[in-house]
Amino acid sequence: MASSVKKEKKAGKFQWFVFLILIPVLFALVLGTVILSILGVNVADLGKNAIQDFPLAAAMFEEEKSEESVESTDVINEKEEEITRLQQELDTKNQEIRTLEEELEELHISIEAEREEEEPASNSHLKEVAQIYENMSAGKAAAILSEMNNGDILLHMEEMSTEARASILGKMEPEKAAKIMNELDD
């Protein structure tokens, strides 16, 4: 019976320790961790820093830090290599852009030159055709021009002298001549 009383006292002291000390301390730790996490405090880092003050735990974290630093150095080196490669690609693309812009500018210049060459040729051709109409009789020129659309008639008549225009318009149908005169005024 004495042994059962001793067991009850031991069990009673253990229960007393668990219910009055261990459970409230654990509850306080959990509650504190939750509150600090909600407030934005990194509890894991705080715990690591606190544990590092103990000699055995500090040695364990130093090994982890050295492994992490080697890994982070490798990652940094890889990223730096990638940055260098991307910078070289960027330089190459910028050079291509400059080359294409120069080619585009050259093409614009050549197109402008071709236009300038074509304009005098077309103007001289129109002047020649207008000269032909001026040398014809007004009736024949009016008959030929009457068969054209108003835009073409205007092009030819703008290159003619005023006297030639007047005599040709005088030989055209009045309605057509009136339309041409209106368009010549514009």
pLDDT band at 8 (very low <50, low <70, confident <90, very high): low
Percent of all residues in the chain with a pLDDT value above 90, rounded to a whole number: 17
Report which of 175, 179, 184, 115 is spatially closest to residue 155, judged by C-alpha positions.
Answer: 184
- Ranges 25-34, 50-59, 66-75, 105-114: which has the least confidence: 50-59
Higher-pLDDT residue of 115, 148: 148
117-126 contact pairs (CB < 8 A, 24+): 126/155, 126/156, 126/159
pLDDT band at 57 (very low <50, low <70, confident <90, very high): low
pLDDT band at 99 (very low <50, low <70, confident <90, very high): very high
- For position 1, what pLDDT does the model report? 52
Burial class (CB in 10 A: 0-12, 13-18, 19+), 143: middle
